[in-house]
Structure 1
Amino acid sequence: MRVHFRHGSLQGLENMAQNSFALLTNLGRAKEAAALANGTAIIITHIAIGDGTTVPSGGETSLYNEVARKAISGHGTVIGASNVAYFDIFLAAADGPYTIREAGLYDNAGDLIAIARYDPPISKPVPSSGQTVEGTVRLQVAFSNIANVTIVVDPSFTVPLQRLSRLPWIPVLSMTITVPPASPNVGDVYLVPTGGSGSWAGQSGKIAEYTAAGWAILTPPNGHGISLPDGRVFEKVGGTYIEKIALDNQSGKWNYAVAAGTANAISATLTPAPESVAAGMVIALKIASSNTGAVTLALNGTAARGVTNSSGGSLKAGALRAGQMATMVFNGSSWSLIGVNAAEIPEVVTTMTMYVRPDGNDNNDGRTNTAAGAKLTVAGAIAAFDTVFVSGGAAIIKLGIPGSYAIGTNIGLANGMILGDAADKESYILQSMSTTPSAVLGVVGGRLSVVGVTLRSVHAAIAGLSTSLGAIVSLSNVALNPGVALTSSHIVSAPGCTVTVAEMSYSGTAASCFAASGGSITLSGAQNFNNCVFTSMNAGASAAGQIQVSGAFSVTGTATGPRYSVSTNGVINTRGSGANFFPGTTAGVTSTGGQYV
């Protein structure tokens, strides 16, 4: 059985008719008078308890039979009786066994200041007796001037008083009422707000508990908590009760962490550390470095788990950006980003340059012309443009340094440019690595300008440049030197496609140099033929295709084969430059509605 007790209402009234009472001793009176006269203080430090049966008279200097003495654990004043102080000691379950019939209040000199009688006595058994009893013994003593009494509380005392002794977080009825209720119930507890009046005047920030003796005022330590009937909880921090849970939540400490580790193998630490990483856990992670590929996260030293997009797929490069706040939820096996990630939202720019270098890396972001910043391949740069919306300008792929650059068979950009060096095109080589390429460079729809490069293929190819799906292509200062024989043409313009050619050079063997098969080819600037061999013709226009000369135009070099072939309503317009305009060794041919002018 566990029993809690607290002796109460033993006031310092010398009414000997009372069975239980407390009074100042003669020595206590003398010390109080001296303190009043000299402006000093009585320093109260201990309470002794005893089992003596003699009724106190005030002349005592010690208890009749002291059985225990303990440092004071709590104190206060009785509301409504400003000169009455109460003093507490706490008796733990192991203290005893005692039969408490008397108690004494001692000062720092060891003198008995007040003595009390308990009738009926208080029994304090120990657990071995079959009863577990612990609680507070309280003495209330009247002084002439409470200001001259100093109480020293046991600094090692760790069991709080009354209801605080059992609950470091206690319920209170209100923390906004400033006037003490007129008819409270014993045990009602309030937090006294600023502006308290009546019995609560001057007690702001303290706990007021209604007892049989009136309002007891307690001063809890920092860290003590209270809860209101509406469910809100407050904790005392820096002397003030604050809505701690709400503030903690607002602070983000519960789920906020800063990414550490590497860009793709992230580690993070929540403080305080979670007991486990459970399904449904949500974290807010500040990203330190942009990812370059798939990502894992190890939280508070747990095993690294994959991070996916909201659809469950691996993250693409740039999904997490440096400085970004990323919110993730754990699904039991991996972390899932909440919402659309950065790699899924095109970046809106007017013009963007993506650098490519032979010493680059397709995991780089391509924004700088360095080995650590540039892409490795043209295909890698094009893939990066998938995350960019270029509004009104061009998506520029800049070849950063001289060298050979691998290209895919087909390129499709809304408005793109591949830029080498117009003054040194032989040093910037776009090279098809495909084993069965349809063309060294194939453009599928969109618009593409190619400047200052050499087009070459490692394996046999059909064409140098092929077009489809209405592609619009501009070639300037480009060398078509495939390095292999072409079974088709250097330049093919398919139906609905447009190719503009300026400042070009051609080498090697092909069926033809220009083939406008339903599309158009416009020639301008200097065109140089380096001993080319054309098995079908130099220039061919068919199926209403057109080849025309525009602006300043010149032809140098030599070629072997027919000069031209125009048929099926195709048109070759040399602006009257004659049948020998295109280099070749045999005459051109016009048939089935074709026109050569």
Structure 2
Amino acid sequence: MDRINGAGTIDIGGGRRGFRDENLVAGIEGTEVTALWLNAIQEELLAVIQDAGLAPSAEDWTLLLQALRKQSLKPMTADKTYWVRSDGNDNNDGSANDPAHAFSTLLGAYNSVRSRTFANGYKTVLQLGTAGNYVGLRHDGWPGQIEIKGDAANRANYRLTPVPGDLSCVSVLDGRQLRVSGVSLVGTPGADARCAWAFGGSLELADIDFRSSGVGTLASVLAEASGNVTLLGAIDVYFARASFALCIGGASVYLGNSLVTALINLQSDGLAFDEGFIRVSEGGRVMRRNVTISGFSATGKRYAADLGGIINVSGGGENFFPGSLNGTLATGGQYS
């Protein structure tokens, strides 16, 4: 007898063809359908229904149709805000700032938006509705522009923690655009390599606290693989890594822009940036646009540039960045 295999095809002497009925008169055996294949189909249909936020029910025979309709991508016609709060639910629609409507996680909101909408050139705002700790977000799978928004005046109370497996509180990859404002980025001491990471994508950080309970590795801000990071508004630094900003692989970090000043303020005394407060390598660039730096003093090198990395402070001088040691240049690194 022909048998449906685990891959959902019929094995007939090594060939493949469709189902067939049993015909005893003609001596034709019918197709035997295995439980494995039927279970696989059932699990796949269940996954579609649950991903659409629907609850399986033996009383409703239209769930698959409802799920497919919900999954159809709809073009956005304007910027859209979705609410996220810790007492919400990821099966909600994010339409209001209350437990009955808000999502509970940034990832839940992100997955819902990208599975149902086409950005069409508009921005999606994920607005944190209540103070608290939230796992951050990796923006890598949807071409729309995303903004994560807390409260600039109370950003110490809106805390983003690292994404499991990503080691960053926020990250943007492969040509995507992400803006983060009014939050604290809270790294895990020793384990994580960055609070904010742009790998080939564009990341804008506005009114941000960089916080941690101890010293980690690499840098608070990491830009690489031709990605870029722009710092705007109040940038308060409460802890030190090997560097505050590390820029490599043709990436760029911009300190302010033509319209908004970056106000970098060291909020703790004796912060140690051993590899340079600013470090560039492999063609990376850090560019002064519109920035002031104030607060406590720091120890370590002010900057380090090598392998064609460029730091441009527009004539700000050797002591422009905080630190207790002179900056260093090597193998084509530039500082001006």
How high is the TM-score relative to the length of structure 2? 0.76
**What letter corresponds to residue 266 of structure 2 in structure 1?**
F
Answer yes or no: is the 8 Å Cα contact 2:187–2:212 preserved in 1: yes
Instruction: Please list the CA deviations of residues 319-340 of structure 1 after superposition, one character each: whole Å capped at 9, or x if unmatched.
Output: 669xxxxxx996xxxx773597
In structure 2, what is the equivalent of residue 352 of structure 1?
Answer: 80
For 2:285 and 2:203, the matched residues in 1 are separated by: 15
Instruction: Please list the CA deviations of residues 169-213 of structure 1 after superposition, one character each: whole Å capped at 9, or x if unmatched.
Output: xxxxxxxxxxxxxxxxxxxxxxxxxxxxxxxxxxxxxxxxxxxxx
- C-alpha deviation, 1:309, in angstroms: 10
Note if 1:341 corresponds to 2:68. yes
| Unaligned ranges ≥5, structure 2 | 1-40, 257-261
For 2:322 and 2:68, the matched residues in 1 are separated by: 56
Note if 1:368 corresponds to 2:68. no
**1:377/1:521 CA distance change after superposition, 3 Å:** same
Answer yes or no: is the 8 Å Cα contact 1:440–1:482 preserved in 2: no
**What letter corresponds to residue 122 of structure 2 in structure 1?**
G
For 1:499 and 1:516, the matched residues in 2 are separated by: 9
For 1:496 and 1:455, the matched residues in 2 are separated by: 23
**1:458/1:564 CA distance change after superposition, 3 Å:** closer
In structure 2, what is the equivalent of residue 539 of structure 1?
Answer: 278
Q: Which one of the candidate residues 365, 377, 380 is aligned to 2:108?
A: 380
Note if 1:316 corresponds to 2:50. yes
For 1:360 and 1:320, the matched residues in 2 are separated by: 17
In structure 2, what is the equivalent of residue 567 of structure 1?
Answer: 306
In structure 1, what is the equivalent of residue 236 of structure 2?
Answer: 505
Q: Percent identity?
A: 27
Count of matched residue pairs:
278
- C-alpha deviation, 1:310, in angstroms: 9.0
Note if 1:422 corresponds to 2:149. no
Note if 1:527 corresponds to 2:257. no
**1:316/1:352 CA distance change after superposition, 3 Å:** farther
Q: Secondary structure at the match of 2:279?
A: strand
For 1:448 and 1:483, the matched residues in 2 are separated by: 26
Note if 1:471 corresponds to 2:198. no
How high is the TM-score relative to the length of structure 1? 0.44
Answer yes or no: is the 8 Å Cα contact 1:308–1:336 preserved in 2: no
Q: Which one of the candidate residues 275, 278, 297 is aligned to 1:558?
A: 297
From the CA coordinates, give the structure whose radius of gyration is larger.
1
Q: Secondary structure at the match of 2:238?
A: strand
**What letter corresponds to residue 316 of structure 1 in structure 2?**
Q
Note if 1:395 corresponds to 2:129. no
**What letter corresponds to residue 320 of structure 2 in structure 1?**
F
Note if 1:461 corresponds to 2:198. no
**1:337/1:495 CA distance change after superposition, 3 Å:** closer
Answer yes or no: is the 8 Å Cα contact 1:352–1:394 preserved in 2: yes
- C-alpha deviation, 1:354, in angstroms: 1.3
Q: Which one of the candidate residues 133, 136, 160 is aligned to 1:407?
A: 136
Q: Secondary structure at the match of 1:528?
A: strand
For 2:244 and 2:204, the matched residues in 1 are separated by: 16
Structural mapping, 1:189-338, within 5 Å: 313-316=47-50, 318=52, 337-338=64-65
Higher relative contact order (CA 8 A, sep 6+): 2
- C-alpha deviation, 1:359, in angstroms: 1.4
In structure 1, what is the equivalent of residue 35 of structure 2?
Answer: none
For 1:313 and 1:552, the matched residues in 2 are separated by: 49
| Unaligned ranges ≥5, structure 1 | 1-306, 322-327
**1:394/1:336 CA distance change after superposition, 3 Å:** closer
